[in-house]
């Protein structure tokens, strides 16, 4: 089973950027932690990060023929990218939305997500642990979908 | 007379994506139907699709020296891309906005278009027929503009 | 195949009224253009205009036994007549909403239509050409409904 | 004692129109059921239906010299006819508002009634039974008003 | 010079209806007072009242060939009849909006007028005196328009 | 057939509390009137009143194994208790919402009910008569549900 | 009988300021016209203009012992000066609000008046004629109040 | 280490209630699954469910001296219980909010949580798996808090 | 004269909870200070605190036969408990609302009180001093009510 | 210790103005009562009233070198004078906001105070007693600030 | 060339007031810096500060005959003084709006300016440097206007 | 010292596009003017324009190691690109937002900037002069930051 880990705009700066909000852990640290858990759960991971909305849409389209589930932190696109929302609705794999910080305890615009209504589920506020939980959830969801399809 | 047919994000998945909303006809089917009508109306068509907002803006800029009218389905950019709106306002060719589904009978956010106020007209809810009607409208508009300029 | 062309309040003044917004073409000019196209498409047209909401509702009710599709410009009723909306939802023929001007580029109240959610489709901003396109769309819709019913 | 049963726009189509929402019972069926109960309660009924707001206002005005109470289903006028609201406030007989369906469980615009603030009471969601309950309520209200006037 | 005095829904009940809000003077009393002043000002008056929106629109259309100005109390249509608004905008004679009561000191929905933006002016809260002032204003406006046209 | 009559907060004070709004009839008077009608209609009634949201939820849960319908005046919980709403949605018996006063003619917050969208119907503004009508409606609804289940 | 003519901020610039909106007539021209009519109606006028909210409040307080009515153009204070509103409510003389332009046909903030709910009436959009009509209305109101007090 | 699993109103009906939304798994099934994982993670669990807001507040207060973290599904209290929010803010243990369904893809009122701003994190839409992930998160959070306090 | 001091949810934690907002003084400290002032003013006090909305309503009902005034800090119920609001409106004793902190300088939801419109007065932001001032106000209000009743 | 008692617009009319809302006690009566209590509490009072926003700002600026606390009834400036709000935020003495009536039980605009967020506390609805309580609060606040500064 | 530097309410306290927001530089320091630059640019400056809205309006009126441009920091009047807005629209000299702090990063009410729509331009968030830039802009604007008038 | 001049979507068309709003000066003209001033101020400039949001984000990320300040005209991205906002917040160099036109005097959506809250300052409405002022401000800000870091 193959799973896509998709990270949106500015997440490449993680660890360098506003550490009081996002901590000092880098995106590559998170990827390493996820890879360890992925081996334990016996699934393969692909990591992809981009600051370009169009690239994220293109990569989501490819997932239809490549992966069984997506773990997606859309960054600030969470709040306005209806194009990403449509891309998620269009592809048939389950998407788990992850946010490092508790977006509901920050600025007002961060409390509204245009992505969540089409996501399978959302995990927020649990830092890098959230990615690991999302991986467990993704494996569990993809497994039960496979069962359902048999 | 040359006319640009511009399609925005996720329209490349047409026919594969949510058929209960968008039907089973593909974008390439629509292009073929339009090409037939274009020959009948004796105009040339250029087809362009992209999931990247920036690419669509760049292509709209080129239209100033290339085409007499644009048929544009902005997909989800309809609802938030003020940059596309400004691009349309900036180029001097008439733009006909097309939507396959009746966007006013769907989710609330789909009822608001930031594009329409700068478009020449809008056709929605008529499926692929809408593209053909838009082509007739585009030819008619471009013809009367040419007359006006003479 | 018989099609109803329904025009709402103040459209009888077309050509005399605010020409900078609505042009100098009269409603009877539009009817003539439509009749020519109707003959070409081999369908019959009935024209009806009224400034009375109740008359338009009564006429829509009759369409159930008389016509295969309706082309409807509800004029200002577009923005508040839930009674007309219910009438359209109640009768089983497809309705194409037409507006001469681009209602989305005018006063704010004109941007909201209570009719569109129950219409099959909407064409706006294309002047009298919009009526001709609506006729083509109506014929196409009615034809495919007939096929579906066979 | 005489009571007016007033039905607004599109209710003449009851039973033919959107049966999943309104059922298959016709307006004439409801009138018959009411007439039976009216005889049991020893009151006279007058039935009036119109799709014309002005006709309903004119009829409400006449009620001042004719009836002791009104049972009124304003249909879609419920949501915008301030003229009907003023007519009810102007005549001195109590008005019971009835709706076949639960208007609070449908589209958002149906949840707002401009009529209710001037009605004596409202019954909704109980189908044709609602009309019968309204008749009992009307008789009870008119009786206690008469007592009060003695 | 001929002037139309147009009264909307429920104003036929004036004097009988909610006297604590509207006083005990009847519409026919007001007409008589206006006729006296009209003779003094040497203009002719036509009085027209209807509870039907469509009738008021039809009558406004006729004013184009008959009267030099209109005094209009739209009653509750003030708050939602965009069709009447369009009729006023369509005819070329100045319209003075009159309200007996101070609509800004009553229920919230009465504070919003869809008519005022296309009226020449508005007089409210001054009871039947308001009609007499409106007549003076109408004569003055019509006179200066005539001058302007010479 | 057994029916639950459920009354929410402050209804125990009925008759003592704000008589200009709620009248002088007490809750126990209403119960007596309902018991008489219940005997006539040959159904059994259980009366329960509480000022505690949790108690009302617990009692609604028990109704699943005890009663065929519920008559419910949620008092002020009408306006914010989503927990009661979920309880009604969870149990499979029809619930008729009753209000003594016309909640739409009072303070703005009273016009919004979070309960109505999951209720079978609503009766308001008809005083204690409303409870009796609700009993008739409950019996009629429960009877037709039983029929449907056979 | 003595009447106060009160003019608020920027009205001293009338005739010099934005003539496309306010015309070329000056405040002193209007005062002269009013004085002539006042003599005709046999009342005395006091004119007062200030750009200071506090001065206008102080002057309104004095009116209690000096004048029988006030004609007031509050200028931009119309839209936010609750202190002026309270001053008008506090003094016992009737106040007629006047606006030269049709404030309902201009920027959105101009459509809301905090003054009108406590004014006896409002006249707007009729230019300097509005002041003359207001004078007639003020005399009529003050006269009937005097009668009422006898 | 001891952890509290707190469940709010109507969750006692889980499995019996609206299975198309919440599935057929019961609350006691979820508790059993959690107990197994708790043993694996070597922590103790206490389960508590109530339909009474006050009981949940009282139980949260006790957590200060008893547990290191709380897993909380507030049910419908999520949307309005500021009292529960204050209780969470008052006690010093981290709280993980869990929802079985994706609350952002349901009715509008379910999208707003008054609890989330004071929760450590939120997991939603992942069914009973969400509780297990929350347990892992709670253990991880409590462990790092303990470290921080040493 | 007997006075009830009523404290709502989470106030039992006062002094332990968020001291930067609420200080280190405990509820029992405040009660002691109030008892001293009560003796000085020669009135009797009853203290009652609960986290249960229903308990607070029940206790307010009892006040009708027991106390002459109520000092009430509704805690978070301030913002949504319309049931408490109705209870206050129903009992005939004056209620003084007290808040320790300045609720208008905190989160937005704390600025709206559903209780205040039915309270005799409100004191906020003055810490425990506010309770002492409320006691003085309560005695003064109850005294003048007693006078008024003689 | 010196304390400023500041009264805003229209409070000079107290006792003459709308006695059903504000009672018959005059501002000078209130000043006398406060002077008596001030002597008892051994503080000096300065009274200042103005209808001019600018005067109130100037006087607040002077307080920095003159007084230890301010008791302020801003009258209608409460609802819009951000300039007064900034003046209070700029001077370093605590300000107690007082309102004679319960502003939350009156017109909607009176419920919003732009002053409260920068005030130390607020007392409303307690009539002239409110001023006396504010004096006690001001003395208490100023005393504890002095202590804090030592 | 003569330029007016206008400062609104509370700016006289600059340097003494909330230094964490506004810094320690005083208004007189800023004036000195501006005078130096003015000499360099060979223009004359007049400085005027007032806490009185009316004084600022009066001074703006005088600018018509005295100055070629205005640099204006309206302080808190920015957010509600439509009277100042009208004064700026009335005088024919260009006005540059200046704010020391970034008003868009502070409280919500500070983000809305009623002045900006009639100002030539706005400079905010750049501290005292903003005044110097405004001076350069004012000179440049006034120069090009003079050119245009020649 | 190195400074980045960043221009967003459609600014490449400057001079060709809507000259009545944006003038006839081209982007390359502005760059030349800025280069001259940069030489005078002894700083280096880099110019970058893109219609792609992702490219602008990428370029802002690079600024961390390359430039001391950024001058940024985000074009239409001003109104919705939270991703650009996050990029600015993430990089540690000060950003000056520039707009050619007065965005507050145009369409409503242009009045809201999601960028300004994280910008150091904003200059709008001053045409190409605004870029030159921004350059002066950028140099001044960067210089004082360098000082602060020493």
Predicted confidence (pLDDT) per residue in C53-77, tens digit: 999 999 999 998 899 999 999 999 9
Residue pair B124/B103 in contact (Cβ under 8 Å)? The answer is yes
D87 to chain E: closest CA residue: E10
Distance from chain centroid for Cα E30: 12
Picking from G85, G97, G118, G122 by the largest number of E CB atoms within 10 A of its own CB, the best residue to mutate is G122
User: What residues form DSSP beta bridges with A98?
Assistant: A123
Chain K residues with beta carbon closer than 8 angstroms to that of J80: 80
Task: Determine the average pLDDT of the residues in D96-117.
Answer: 89
Question: What is the rounded CA–CA span in Å between residue D127 and residue D102?
Answer: 9
**Calculated CA dihedral for residues E134, E139, E141, E142, nearest 10 degrees:** 130
Sign, CA dihedral L75-L76-L79-L82, equals negative
User: Which chain G residue has its CA at the smallest distance from E100's CA?
Assistant: G121
What pLDDT does residue J33 have? 97
* CA–CA distance, D119 with G145 (Å, rounded to integer): 35
Task: Provide the token pair at J68.
Answer: 């230890």
Residue L69 has pLDDT above 80, yes or no: yes
Question: Residue E8: its chain D contacts at CB < 8 A?
Answer: 83
Note the Cα H84 to chain centre separation in Å: 12
Catalytic residues of B: 22, 99
I9 to chain H, closest Cα gap in Å:
6
Instruction: Using the predicted structure, report yes or no on whether residue L46 has a pLDDT greater than 90.
Output: yes
Nearest CA in chain H to I76: H83
Q: Which residues on chain A are in Cβ contact (under 8 Å) with B50?
A: 54
Query: Quick one: which of K147, K96, K91, K145 has its CA closest to K124?
Result: K96
Sign of CA dihedral G25, G28, G34, G37: negative
Residues of B in contact with L17 (CB under 8 A): 89-90
- DSSP strand E in D15-102: where? 44-49, 69-73, 95-99
Taking contacts as CB-CB distances below 8 angstroms, the residues of chain B near C136 are 129, 133, 136
Percent of chain G clearing pLDDT 70 (strictly above): 95
Altogether, the residues listed in chain C come to a count of 150
E55 vs chain C: nearest CA distance in angstroms? 7
- Size of chain L, expressed as the number of residues it contains: 150
Q: Which of D15, D51, D57 should we substitute to test contact with C (largest number of C Cβ atoms within 10 Å)?
A: D51
Lowest mean pLDDT among A43-57, E23-37, H17-31: H17-31
Kindly report which listed range (A56-65, B130-139, G66-75, J14-23) carries the lowest average pLDDT score: J14-23
Cα E103 from Cα G97, distance rounded (Å): 13
Bridge partners of I5, per DSSP, are I47, I71
Task: For chains D and E, count residue pairs whose Cβ atoms are closer than 8 Å.
Answer: 52
Distance from chain centroid for Cα J16: 20
Here the tokens at position D40 are 């049991």
Mutate which of C55, C78, C84, C90 to disrupt the D interface (most D C-beta within 10 Å)?
Answer: C90
Among A16, A50, A109, whose Cβ lies nearest the Cβ of L82? Answer: A109
Give the mean model confidence (pLDDT) for residues C99-109: 85
More confident residue, F75 or H18: F75
CA distance C82 to D110: 9
pLDDT at L108: 82
Q: CA-nearest residue of chain F to I80?
A: F80
* SS3 per-residue string spanning chain J: CEEEEEECCCHHHCCCCCHHHHCCCCHHHHHHHHHHHHHHHCCEEEEEECCCHHHHHHHHHHHHHCCCEEEEECHHHHHCCHHHHHHHHHCCCCEEEEECCCHHHCCHHHHCCCCHHHCCEEEECCCCHHHHHHHHHHHHHHHHHHHHHC
Which of D61, D79, D82, D99 is the catalytic position? Answer: D99
Distance CA J31, CA C33 (A): 83
- All residues at 6 or more sequence positions from J133 whose CB lies less than 8 Å from its CB, including other chains: I123, I133, I136, I137, J123, J126
Taking the C-alpha atoms of residue D102 and residue D124, their distance in angstroms, rounded to an integer, is 5
The reported pLDDT for the residue numbered A104 is 81
Nearest residue in F to H53, CA atom: F54
Nearest CB to G83: which of J16, J77, J109?
J77
Domain range holding D130?
A: 2-148
The minimal CB distance from H54 to the residues I53, I76, I109 is found for I53
What integer pLDDT is reported at residue A107 of this predicted model? 83
How much of chain C, in percent, has pLDDT values that exceed 70?
A: 95
Task: Work out the burial of residue H65: count CB atoms within 10 Å of its CB; fewer than 13 is exposed, 13-18 middle, 19 or more buried.
Answer: exposed
* Residue A121, CA atoms < 13 Å, CB-side half-sphere: 28
Which residues of A are marked as active site?
22, 99
Q: Looking up tokens 């002539």, which residue turns up?
A: G36
Q: Given pLDDT bands bounded at 50, 70 and 90, which one contains residue H150?
A: low
Q: What is the mean pLDDT of residues A8-14?
A: 95
Distance separating alpha carbons of residues F94 and C21, to the nearest angstrom? 54
Contacts of C51 in chain E (CB under 8 A): 54, 57-58, 61, 83, 87
Please, which pLDDT band fits residue K54 given cuts at 50, 70 and 90?
A: very high
In this structure, what token pair is assigned to residue H87?
Answer: 């209780």
Of G58, G89, G114, the CB nearest to J51: G58
pLDDT score for F148: 64
Work out the percent of chain I whose per-residue pLDDT is above 70.
95
Domain count, chain C: 1
Measured between CA atoms, the residue of chain F closest to residue H56 is F54
Mean pLDDT of chain E: 92
Q: Which of I148, I134, I121, I145 shows the shortest CA–CA distance to I41?
A: I134
**pLDDT class of F150 with cuts at 50, 70, 90:** low
Query: In the predicted model, is pLDDT for residue H121 greater than 60?
Result: yes
Question: Rounded to an integer, what distance in angstroms lies between the CA atom of residue L135 and that of residue L122?
Answer: 12
Strand positions, DSSP E, chain E: 2-7, 44-49, 69-73, 95-99, 121-124
- As a whole number, mean pLDDT of residues J50-68 equals 96
Among L8, L18, L53, beta carbon nearest to B89? L18
Identify the pLDDT of residue A148: 64
- pLDDT confidence of residue H122: 96
Q: pLDDT digits over B25-54, tens only?
A: 999 999 999 999 999 999 999 999 999 999
Inter-residue contact F53 to F77 (CB < 8 Å): yes
Looking at the predicted structure, is the pLDDT value of residue E84 above 90?
yes
- Cα–Cα distance between K128 and K141 in angstroms, integer? 20
Question: K117, L104: Cβ pair inside 8 Å?
Answer: yes
Residues contacting B141, CB < 8 A, separation 6+ = B69, B94, B96, B120, C126, C129
CA-nearest residue to A79 within chain B is: B80
Q: What pairing do the DSSP bridges indicate for beta strands B95-99 and B121-124? A: parallel
Q: Would you call K10 and J83 a contact, using CB atoms and an 8 Å cutoff? A: yes
Residue A66 confidence (pLDDT): 93
Distances E80 to C80, E111, G104 between C-alpha atoms, Å: 7, 12, 15
Give the orientation angle of helix E53-62 with respect to helix D53-66, to 10 degrees.
Answer: 120
Interatomic CA distance for residues G101 and G10, integer angstroms: 14
Instruction: Dump pLDDT digits (tens) for G97-129.
Output: 999 988 887 888 888 899 999 999 999 999 999
| Domain of residue A8, CATH code | 3.40.50.9100
G82: confidence class by pLDDT, cuts 50, 70, 90: very high
High-pLDDT (> 70) share of chain F, %: 95
**What residues in E contact C54, CB-CB < 8 Å?**
54
**Residues within 8 A of A (CB atoms), H 7-66 only:** none
Is pLDDT at B67 greater than 80 in this prediction? yes
Contact D50 C53 (CB under 8 A): no
Q: Just list the catalytic residues of H.
A: 22, 99
L: neighbours with 3+ CB pairs under 8 Å? A, B, K
E104 pLDDT exceeds 90? no
Q: How far is the C-alpha of F137 from the C-alpha of F94, rounded, in Å?
A: 10
Mean pLDDT for the stretch of residues I66-79: 97
* Contacts of B146 by beta carbon, 8 Å cutoff, 6+ apart: B68
Its pTM stands at: 0.94
Residue D150 reports pLDDT greater than 60: no
Longest dimension (CA), chain D: 47
- Report the helix count and the strand count for chain K, using DSSP H and E: 5, 5
Instruction: Calculate the CA dihedral of residues I130, I131, I133, I139 and round it to 10 degrees.
Output: 160
Count other C-beta atoms under 10 Å from residue I107's C-beta: 11
Tokens 């504890």 belong to J144
Return the SS3 of F7: strand
Find chains touching chain D: ≥3 CB pairs under 8 Å: C, E, F
Which of A13, A53, A76 lies at the smallest CB-CB distance from L85?
Answer: A76
Q: Other CB atoms closer than 10 Å to residue L127's CB: what's the count? A: 21
Looking at the predicted structure, is the pLDDT value of residue B150 above 70?
no
User: In chain A, how many H helices and how many E strands?
Assistant: 5, 5
What's the count of helices (H) and strands (E) in chain C, helices before strands?
5, 5
Residues 80..119 of J with a Cβ closer than 8 Å to I: which? 96, 102, 104-105, 113, 116-119
Q: How far apart are CA G52 and CA K74, in angstroms?
A: 16
Q: What is the DSSP string of chain G?
A: -EEEEEE-TTGGGTTTS-HHHH-S--HHHHHHHHHHHHHHHT-EEEEEE-S-HHHHHHHHHHHHHH-SEEEEE-GGGGGT-HHHHHHHHHS-S-EEEEESS-GGGS-GGGG--SSGGGSSEEEESSTTHHHHHHHHHHHHHHHHHHHHH-
Beta pairing class for G121-124 and E121-124:
antiparallel
The CA radius of gyration of chain B, in Å to the nearest whole number, is: 14
D149 vs K86, residue with greater confidence: K86
Per-residue pLDDT of K74-127, as tens digits, reads 999 999 999 999 999 999 899 999 999 888 878 888 888 999 999 999 999 999
**Interface probe with H: pick from A78, A111, A119, A121, most Cβ of H within 10 Å:** A121
């Amino acid at each position: 089973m193959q799973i896509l880990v998709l990270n949106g705009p500015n997440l490449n700066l993680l660890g360098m950027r506003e550490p009081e909000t996002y901590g000092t852990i880098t995106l590559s640290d998170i990827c390493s932690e996820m890879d360890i858990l992925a081996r334990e759960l016996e699934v393969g991971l692909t990591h992809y990060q981009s600051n370009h909305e169009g690239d994220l849409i293109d990569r989501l389209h490819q997932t239809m023929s490549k992966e069984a589930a997506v773990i997606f932190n859309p960054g600030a696109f969470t709040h306005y990218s209806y194009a990403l929302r449509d891309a998620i609705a269009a592809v048939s794999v389950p998407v788990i939305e992850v946010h490092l910080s508790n977006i509901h305890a920050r600025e007002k615009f961060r409390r509204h997500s245009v992505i969540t209504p089409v996501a399978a589920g959302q995990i927020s506020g649990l830092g890098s642990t959230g990615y690991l939980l999302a991986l467990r959830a993704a494996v569990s969801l993809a497994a039960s979908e496979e069962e359902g399809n048999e």
